Amino acid sequence: MTGENQTSAWYLAQLKPNSVNIAERNLQRQGFEPFLPQEEATRKRGGRFITSLQPLFPGYIFVALDVAQGLWRKVNSTSGVSRLVSFGGAPAALPEGLVEQLKLRCSPEGKMSPEEAFAPGDIVRIKTGPFSDVLAEIERTSADRRVWVLMDIMGGKTRVTVTNDMISAA
């Protein structure tokens, strides 16, 4: 039951609390193809910062299956899975290409690749918004993906805050 079969599609399964590893293991054991994208998250615990992998969509896992064969009932009864996300009594397939695009940004283990990292002093191009195609210099960045850039506007340097996805290397 791989995602390569033309009759199979990707579905979203809601997990029981704290059951992500159990559900993923049991889905694989039954021959399903689960996909759990994860990202690194840093949290403060006991006065120390600890970095660990956390699900990108907490409480959910993607599953490739063929609902025409009635296999969705098997997923619903899998240990660790609460239910497939459904509308009108039938599991709702995800838009075609969504999971494939997520997989392109992940390592084989499901870890999301970090977005392009910028450092202070780098010259970047603004991709969207009123300053589209303007060159700017990175002043500083933050962990929450905000970037402060300096733009040369009317003969002076002006500081503007943008998000990481609004800029590209020049």
Rounded Cα distance, 111 and 78, in Å? 24
DSSP-assigned states of every residue in 123-151: EEEE-SSTTTT-EEEEEEE-TTSEEEEEE
Q: Which of 39-43, 66-70, 134-138, 152-156 is most confident?
A: 134-138
Rounded Cα distance, 63 and 94, in Å? 10
Residue 41 placed within a domain? yes
Same domain, 93 and 132: no
Does pLDDT of 89 surpass 60? Answer: yes
Residue 132 placed within a domain? yes
**Residue range 122-131: average pLDDT?**
85
Contact (CB, 8 A) for 55 and 20: yes
Does pLDDT of 115 surpass 80? Answer: no
Contact (CB, 8 A) for 150 and 98: no
Considering its fold, how many domains does the chain have in total?
2
Q: What is the extent of the structural domain holding 97?
A: 9-104
- pTM for this one? 0.65
